[in-house]
A and B are shown apart, each in its own frame.
Chain A
């Protein structure tokens, strides 16, 4: 018996079946259509085309048209949820009653908070990163900058705020000396980021740019997470777990390096070694100085990256370097011989960190570092050695309070021991100084978005220095406001403290206190995908700068006080354009600075000898696909630097000639037996401009002039110009990668002397 039989026989079943049909099939319902229509808008009233408009749990719906309008018919009856979704907006939903006829809906979609399109705090910061956030630079931009010779600091020197100072170590930023810039790797300050300084020889950074996935160059107003840098912070973050392993070989007439990286499921281990000997370079390229021993360097490094869990990552990087050289500084007068200078440097650095996500919203970063640096220096056979050791630990906890608020707090401990054995030039007496510093800091900071268009970062840092036995606390505040789809303004204020350098503490810390700087920064930025324009103005006040007390007969030793002060104010322009020229990419920086300071042995407040009033840089890169080549050129101009001229009255009243540097590089990408290969050539100062950094003055017997003597007659002094060791500098080298599909990140290149390049 079928259903039809039952239906014909029994009224009850017939009724039951009708009910069943009504409930289960809806077949009985007539084809009563309802039209749903309206216009999709955002909360500001702008129409949104391309939105998905639909009735939940049905197929019925449509896509909004160019003018945001939509209209669709449905045969559904009753109460339904109408959903409107669109990328970048929170889904809109509203219940609608469908009963034939027309239903009018006016959905207003609220923009989703999106960090990628939200305002970015940019006052005093340039970031290089591969990550999504709107950044001005990519890590590779650093490597491919001509004239930077593959050195992170060299590339940063082309950005506004930085001065090109060839004869002293460090990055000189906005009227601050080189030691006022600190280099921070994975949260920890690096004690010796540069190769050991030799008078008049520019020193480069120890760390290869290929080690880092991200770089932030702060020219001021930086986060409370970092301290002990009066002027600037270079924040470097090391690479995460690589996808693939590989090996590489670098060769050049002065340099050889090998590198290999093995990647397993959860662990990656890399090993590298390099040897440098500048014999050939010094023999072939005319030198301004006499090398008694060519630069010779031997180094090795070890990297370990291990996934401690799905979300946890442990990193270790350790490096050892041994470098030695000898220079004969010619005597200014014939009556005495030149000065023989020899350096043997040994440096060990290790940095370990562990990052893990705790629960839903917490992230912990624990890091530790140790460093050992020994400079065995012989001046005329007399021991002038320096030695420093450091240990650091840091814990930082970050809590993602909401999608708009992040809070961070942490603690830092730093131990530093410093020893200096030195002899005053020309005085037959030697002194030993020692300093030990225990330094601790606590910081708390919050980054928050009030709306997508208004963001802030507020933090405070408290520090204690055992050597000074003093506390300080420093507030920091940054704000950014989006003034248009592509434009924004940023403001920053902060107080920054720095403990006087160990070589000063070694003479007694009683009269010393923290050096202090206050930064006020404002900028306006216009940024599209391919173009960035930035205009920034700043004012900085310096207090308690270390000053050297005049030498007199009552004190056997040098002594120092915190009596210096100063200011710096300036305006800077930056423009980068990746679009206007096919395959071309360039940036232009201009900095103007007005600054005065009294510090070290300066008798009065003047423009310091490293601060040029005008600095201009143009960096250009051009990719030529047919030649598989990238050609780069960098031009830097600086107005004259102040120097103290003993012939004239006053102090620091001379100006060196203008500085010009035009450098070029060429990288050719090819493969040798299927292995990716880069051949690299660079020339620094192509036109051979005779750049002078400053002058040294001696009395007619060959001793340095003391205490900034002035109003001297030409017979009373001898002048020696300070120049780079070679007017032009050349580099040629090649890099071969021994595996297919290598990514350049794996070419973790040797850091000293080896210039690397890679594809755009």
Chain B
């Protein structure tokens, strides 16, 4: 093989390396874009989910992404979130614990990728509340656990509306004689509402859910308890 105007070897090499680097960059960017695009597409589906099958499908989808993207916490976050919603919807009470065991593992995995994350504490709180469904006697064990995680979420990230939502909701649904009820829960839900008004998610695929749900429970349970 000959070169009509041979370039100096150094220059050839430089070009080769340069081109590889820029192409590698191009590839990295597409992977990132693919991740974001996939997540966005799946988040739309999660938003629309209404049945157990749809939540199951969402949980599975995010899990697939999580398995492929070993450095991203968000797929695990959403997979756990979908599993928790599935657990809340599950009619077979015996099936709830295994689903939440799985969600807890996913949250733990997300925490290794993103420690001290208020959003993950909110999920832990939700998972603990969901376990009470299996047997209301468990309220004594998981009720305080749920409040504990939510409280930690609010201290870790004071401006996170979901921490306050979870804490307020937990108190709202705790019987009055155990120190709960609307008089205690609703002011916290109002705090959450104020934070939703200004909350900006870090990106399009970061958690931003909850405002609508919050409005609905305030409307349902808090008239007369909030200003």
Contacts and interface: CB of A to CB of B under 8 A. Distances in A.
Given A3-B22, A243-B145, A741 B178 contact: yes
A745 B67 CA distance: 41
A330 interface: no
B226 interface: no
Contacts of A529: 93-94, 134
B177 A677 contact: yes
Interface string A711-738: 0000000000000000000000000000
Given A12-B3, A58-B68, A130 B137 contact: yes
B136 A760 contact: yes
B140 A87 contact: no
B102 interface: yes
Interface string B148-183: 100000000000000000000000001111110000
A306 B219 CA distance: 46
B147 interface: yes
Interface string A278-311: 0000000000000000000000000000000000
B144 A116 contact: no
B200 interface: no
Nearest to B174: A741
A226 B215 CA distance: 58
Q: Which of A54, A674, A677 has the most CB of B within 10 A?
A: A54
A584 B71 CA distance: 50
A3 B144 contact: no
A56 B67 contact: yes
Contacts of B20: 20, 24
A50 B53 contact: yes
B138 interface: yes
A60 B16 CA distance: 33
Interface residues of A, number: 56
A742 B178 contact: yes
B176 A671 contact: yes
Nearest to B63: A52
A387 interface: no
Contact of A741 (B12, B61, B63, B179): B179
B67 A20 contact: no
Interface in A48-92: 49-52, 54, 56-63, 66, 85, 87-88
B111 interface: no
Contacts of A140: 137
A743 B144 contact: yes
B1 A12 contact: yes
B99 A671 contact: no
Contacts of A17: 19
B185 interface: no
Contacts of B38: 59
A61 B97 CA distance: 26
A31 interface: no
Nearest to A56: B67
A427 interface: no
A63 B61 CA distance: 8
Given A25-B23, A87-B98, A3 B175 contact: no
A197 interface: no
A549 interface: no
A747 to B, nearest CB: 10
A515 B223 CA distance: 70
B11 to A, nearest CB: 8
Nearest to A668: B177
Q: Which of B64, B141, B144 has the most CB of A within 10 A?
A: B64
A743 B27 contact: no
Contacts of B177: 628, 669-671, 676-677, 759
A740 B3 contact: no
A50 B174 CA distance: 33
B199 interface: no
A52 B16 contact: no
A11 B97 contact: no
A520 to B, nearest CB: 32
Interface string A426-447: 0000000000000000000000
A64 B64 CA distance: 14
A238 to B, nearest CB: 16
A331 interface: no
B158 to A, nearest CB: 21
Interface in B93-127: 93-94, 97-99, 102
B154 to A, nearest CB: 15
B175 A669 contact: yes
A696 to B, nearest CB: 45
B141 A743 contact: yes
Contact of A13 (B15, B26, B140, B147): B15
A624 interface: no
B137 A6 contact: no
B68 A743 contact: no
A24 B23 contact: yes
A66 B53 CA distance: 9
B10 interface: no
A16 B7 CA distance: 15
B27 A13 contact: no
A56 B93 CA distance: 32
Nearest to A25: B27
A689 interface: no
B57 to A, nearest CB: 4
Contacts of A745: 140
Contact of B56 (A13, A50, A743): A50
A6 B93 CA distance: 66
A24 B27 contact: yes
A132 B101 CA distance: 12
B3 A10 contact: yes
Interface in A236-291: 243-244
A9 interface: yes
B64 A59 contact: yes
A672 to B, nearest CB: 10
B64 A54 contact: yes
Contacts of A30: none
Given A17-B19, A87-B98, 5 more contacts: A11-B1, A12-B12, A24-B27, A25-B23, A529-B94
8 tightest Cβ-Cβ pairs between the two chains A and B:
A52-B60, A740-B179, A669-B177, A63-B57, A743-B140, A3-B19, A50-B56, A63-B60
17 contacts: A6-B15, A10-B12, A54-B67, A59-B64, A63-B60, A88-B98, A114-B98, A117-B94, A138-B137, A243-B145, A529-B94, A628-B175, A676-B177, A740-B179, A741-B147, A742-B178, A760-B137
Interface of A: 1, 3, 6, 9-13, 16-17, 20-21, 24-25, 49-52, 54, 56-63, 66, 85, 87-88, 114, 116-117, 130, 132, 138, 140, 243-244, 529, 628, 669-671, 674, 676-677, 740-745, 759-760
